[in-house]
Amino acid sequence: MPDNQIIKKDEKHKFTPLEKRFVKIYLLLTVFYSIVSVYLLNTPIDEWVFNLGQYNNQLLQWLPRAQYWLISRSPTEKK
């Protein structure tokens, strides 16, 4: 085997800046999801963040007003 193909065991792999960024993002996401999972596991099921019945009622009350606002705020022709 030629000398240039021999892998030296004493060389350590150095991370590139992009790899360091991915490691940081991965660690932050891991911490975030672990906190969220602990919160959801320790919360009674009727108090979960995504209580869909209550969310749908609030959304249905808010959407018609938003549609009227968009219609009333439509751009007018310039004179």
Q: What are the tens digits of pLDDT across the range 25-50?
A: 999 999 999 988 887 777 666 566 55
Least trusted range by pLDDT, from 11-20, 31-40, 41-50, 67-76: 67-76
- Give residue 37's pLDDT: 84
| Rounded CA separation 79/74 (Å) | 15
Whole-angstrom distance, CA of residue 51 vs CA of residue 28:
26
Q: Check pLDDT > 90 for residue 65.
A: no
